[in-house]
Amino acid sequence: MAKITFNNEACKGCGLCVLACPKKLLQISSVSNKNGYFVAEITDMAACVGCASCAMMCPDCVITVER
Ligand code: SF4
Ligand code: SF4
């Protein structure tokens, strides 16, 4: 099973990863980091296929994909 992790402090809440996920698994959360940005989160890790589209799209290299 694939797993993704976020470096929350580097996230700017831009939402590009949300648009990139073909399974629509990502959203902007209600949690903000120390810079005041609401960070991205995954809604259903078990459904992630590990395609890494989100990680490739992220301009700040926030997302790490393991599979
Ligand atoms: S690895 Fe692919 S399926 Fe998993 S969250 Fe990222 S874009 Fe979505
Ligand atoms: S693309 Fe990167 S910086 Fe933008 S919301 Fe997603 S994880 Fe955060």
Q: Which amino acid is at 17?
A: C
Residues paired with residue 39 on neighbouring β-strands, in sequence order: none
**Residues spanned by the domain of 37:** 3-66
Token pair 């890494």 is found at 52
Q: Which ligand is nearest to the CA of 48?
A: 1
Q: How many domains does the chain have?
A: 1
pLDDT of residue 1: 83
CATH code of the domain containing 58: 3.30.70.20
CA-proximal residue: ligand 2, atom 8 (nearest): 11
Q: Which amino acid is at 13?
A: G
Look at strands 26-32 and 38-42 and give their pairing: antiparallel
Mutation choice for ligand 1 from 16, 49, 65, CB with most ligand atoms inside 8 A: 49
- Cβ atoms of residues 62 and 18 within 8 Å: no
* pLDDT tens-digit profile, the chain (67 residues): 899 999 999 999 999 999 999 999 999 999 999 999 999 999 999 999 999 999 999 999 999 999 9
Cα–Cα separations (whole angstroms), residue 61 to 12, 17, 46? 11, 11, 22
